[in-house]
Amino acid sequence: MSSTDNDSVRESVVREWFRRVWNQLDVKAIDELFAPDGVAHWLDAEPVRGPAAFRGFHSILTSSFHDIHVKVVREMQVGDMVAFQAEVRLVPIGQDTPITFNGGAFARVQGRQILETWDCWNFLGLLEGMGTLPHGALRLALAGELKLSRGTT
């Protein structure tokens, strides 16, 4: 592929997703870039299905944090699969200190839409940065030194 080929200089759908959806908080971009039957596998036992469900997740995050910035630090694509690593910086509402954590995913894409993702983000680091969990929580938990009360349902 030559350096003058449009596809070589065009922003990838993954980079466009993070720039518009998270850095610019462009909610309309979710409908453009996440396929109508798109699926995101990540936190909960049940995946997020479709743009409307993703907008709900986006709303929760953007009402909990400000100054959100996601930087894709590396990505590679083979066929319709994209692997990427990203760094996230955000500030919890009511706080001034930014928290930085990383993560990445495999995404199946078609044209300018994301069809499916398998995400892995360091949300433990986010919770530690927020003060919700103590630093070193994983080590403490594995050593049996972290005791959290569990709510009942």
Thinking of the domain 6-142, which architecture would CATH place it in? Answer: Roll (3.10)
Of 4, 104, 17, residue with least CA distance to 58: 17
Token duo for residue 84: 């990427």
54: helix, strand or coil: helix
CB 107 within 8 A of CB 100: no
Portion of the chain with pLDDT greater than 90, in percent: 83
Q: Dump pLDDT digits (tens) for 60-98.
A: 999 999 999 999 999 999 999 999 999 999 999 999 999
Strands (E), the chain: 34-41, 48-49, 65-78, 81-92, 99-110, 113-121
| pLDDT classification of 11: cutoffs 50, 70, 90 | confident
